[in-house]
Protein backbone atom coordinates (compact mmCIF):
# COMPACT_ATOMS: atom_id res chain seq x y z
CA UNK A 1 0.00 0.00 0.00
CA UNK A 2 1.26 3.45 -0.91
CA UNK A 3 1.41 5.56 2.23
CA UNK A 4 2.96 8.72 3.65
CA UNK A 5 3.38 9.42 7.37
CA UNK A 6 4.56 12.83 8.59
CA UNK A 7 6.21 13.53 11.93
CA UNK A 8 8.23 16.21 13.67
CA UNK A 9 5.65 18.90 14.28
CA UNK A 10 5.23 20.69 17.57
CA UNK A 11 5.36 23.99 19.43
CA UNK A 12 8.36 26.18 18.63
CA UNK A 13 9.27 29.75 19.49
CA UNK A 14 9.60 32.42 16.79
CA UNK A 15 13.07 32.33 15.28
CA UNK A 16 13.48 28.66 16.07
CA UNK A 17 14.04 25.66 13.81
CA UNK A 18 12.18 22.45 13.22
CA UNK A 19 12.65 19.48 10.91
CA UNK A 20 9.64 17.65 9.53
CA UNK A 21 9.88 14.09 8.25
CA UNK A 22 7.68 12.19 5.84
CA UNK A 23 8.18 8.42 5.73
CA UNK A 24 7.05 6.73 2.54
CA UNK A 25 6.02 3.14 1.94
CA UNK A 26 4.92 1.34 -1.21
CA UNK A 27 7.03 3.51 -3.52
CA UNK A 28 10.50 5.10 -3.73
CA UNK A 29 10.76 8.75 -2.76
CA UNK A 30 13.81 9.56 -4.88
CA UNK A 31 12.11 8.30 -8.04
CA UNK A 32 9.19 10.67 -7.66
CA UNK A 33 8.30 14.34 -7.40
CA UNK A 34 7.40 15.16 -3.79
CA UNK A 35 5.76 18.28 -2.38
CA UNK A 36 5.13 19.92 0.97
CA UNK A 37 1.80 21.74 1.35
CA UNK A 38 0.61 23.60 4.45
CA UNK A 39 -2.69 24.84 5.79
CA UNK A 40 -2.90 27.56 8.41
CA UNK A 41 -5.79 27.29 10.88
CA UNK A 42 -9.07 28.02 9.11
CA UNK A 43 -7.28 28.86 5.85
CA UNK A 44 -6.74 27.26 2.46
CA UNK A 45 -3.96 25.12 1.09
CA UNK A 46 -0.58 26.72 0.40
CA UNK A 47 2.07 24.96 -1.64
CA UNK A 48 5.44 25.21 0.17
CA UNK A 49 8.10 23.30 -1.73
CA UNK A 50 8.78 20.57 -4.28
CA UNK A 51 11.70 18.28 -5.05
CA UNK A 52 11.86 16.70 -8.48
CA UNK A 53 13.10 13.17 -9.09
CA UNK A 54 16.27 14.65 -10.58
CA UNK A 55 16.91 16.60 -7.37
CA UNK A 56 15.88 20.12 -8.38
CA UNK A 57 14.11 22.02 -5.62
CA UNK A 58 11.70 24.96 -5.63
CA UNK A 59 10.05 27.01 -2.91
CA UNK A 60 7.16 29.37 -2.36
CA UNK A 61 8.29 32.98 -1.99
CA UNK A 62 6.99 32.95 1.61
CA UNK A 63 9.57 30.33 2.68
CA UNK A 64 12.43 30.86 0.21
CA UNK A 65 15.75 31.11 2.04
CA UNK A 66 14.31 29.76 5.32
CA UNK A 67 13.07 26.27 4.43
CA UNK A 68 14.98 23.42 2.77
CA UNK A 69 13.45 20.32 1.23
CA UNK A 70 15.51 17.14 1.05
CA UNK A 71 15.19 13.37 0.85
CA UNK A 72 17.03 10.26 2.00
CA UNK A 73 17.06 7.12 -0.09
CA UNK A 74 18.14 4.81 2.74
CA UNK A 75 15.24 6.00 4.89
CA UNK A 76 12.88 6.40 1.91
CA UNK A 77 11.85 9.69 3.48
CA UNK A 78 11.24 13.31 2.61
CA UNK A 79 12.23 16.17 4.92
CA UNK A 80 11.51 19.85 5.43
CA UNK A 81 14.06 21.80 7.44
CA UNK A 82 12.40 24.97 8.68
CA UNK A 83 14.57 27.79 10.06
CA UNK A 84 13.82 31.31 11.26
CA UNK A 85 10.24 30.31 11.97
CA UNK A 86 7.57 33.01 12.14
CA UNK A 87 4.10 33.15 13.62
CA UNK A 88 2.67 32.91 10.11
CA UNK A 89 4.34 29.52 9.59
CA UNK A 90 1.83 28.03 12.03
CA UNK A 91 -0.03 25.38 10.04
CA UNK A 92 -0.64 21.72 9.43
CA UNK A 93 2.07 20.51 7.07
CA UNK A 94 1.31 17.77 4.58
CA UNK A 95 3.68 15.87 2.34
CA UNK A 96 2.32 14.63 -0.96
CA UNK A 97 3.41 12.40 -3.81
CA UNK A 98 3.27 14.41 -7.02
CA UNK A 99 2.57 11.83 -9.71
CA UNK A 100 2.52 12.03 -13.53
CA UNK A 101 -0.99 10.72 -14.07
CA UNK A 102 -1.24 11.56 -17.76
CA UNK A 103 1.12 12.07 -20.66
CA UNK A 104 0.62 13.57 -24.10
CA UNK A 105 3.13 13.20 -26.96
CA UNK A 106 4.70 16.48 -28.00
CA UNK A 107 5.22 15.21 -31.54
CA UNK A 108 8.96 15.66 -31.15
CA UNK A 109 9.72 12.31 -29.51
CA UNK A 110 9.00 13.44 -25.95
CA UNK A 111 5.95 13.88 -23.71
CA UNK A 112 4.09 16.49 -21.73
CA UNK A 113 3.44 15.07 -18.25
CA UNK A 114 0.46 16.11 -16.15
CA UNK A 115 1.26 15.92 -12.45
CA UNK A 116 -1.14 15.81 -9.52
CA UNK A 117 -0.83 15.09 -5.80
CA UNK A 118 -2.51 11.71 -5.56
CA UNK A 119 -1.13 10.49 -2.23
CA UNK A 120 -1.11 12.61 0.94
CA UNK A 121 0.03 12.09 4.48
CA UNK A 122 -2.17 12.78 7.48
CA UNK A 123 -0.35 16.02 8.28
CA UNK A 124 1.75 17.23 11.20
CA UNK A 125 0.90 20.40 13.12
CA UNK A 126 3.46 23.16 13.63
CA UNK A 127 2.71 25.98 16.05
CA UNK A 128 5.05 28.96 16.18
CA UNK A 129 4.38 30.96 19.32
CA UNK A 130 6.17 32.49 22.26
Partner 1 sequence: DIQMTQSPSSLSASVGDRVTITCRASQSIYTYLNWYQQKPGKAPKLLIYAASSLQSGVPSRFSGSGSGTDFTLTISSLQSEDFATYFCQQSFTTRTFGQGTKLEIK
Q: Which residues bind partner 1 (CB under 8 A)?
A: 35, 37, 44-47, 50, 58, 60-61, 94, 98, 101-102, 114-118, 120-123
Label residue 51 exposed, middle or buried (CB < 10 Å: 0-12, 13-18, 19+): buried
Alpha carbon distances (Å) from 51 to 9, 80, 120: 20, 11, 15
Q: How far is the CB of 15 from partner 1 (least distance, A)?
A: 27
Nearer to partner 1, 30 or 125 (CB): 125
Q: How far is the CB of 111 from partner 1 (least distance, A)?
A: 13
Angle, CA 36 vertex, CA 81 and CA 126 arms, to 5°: 60
Q: How far is the CB of 112 from partner 1 (least distance, A)?
A: 8
Nearer to partner 1, 16 or 40 (CB): 40
Q: How far is the CB of 16 from partner 1 (least distance, A)?
A: 26
Taking the C-alpha atoms of residue 4 and residue 108, their distance in angstroms, rounded to an integer, is 36
Nearer to partner 1, 77 or 124 (CB): 124
- Name the 3-class secondary structure at 8: coil
Amino acid sequence: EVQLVESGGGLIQPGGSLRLSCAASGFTVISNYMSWVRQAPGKGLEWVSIIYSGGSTYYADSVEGRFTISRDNSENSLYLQMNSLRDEDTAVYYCAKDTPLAEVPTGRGSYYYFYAMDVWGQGTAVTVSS
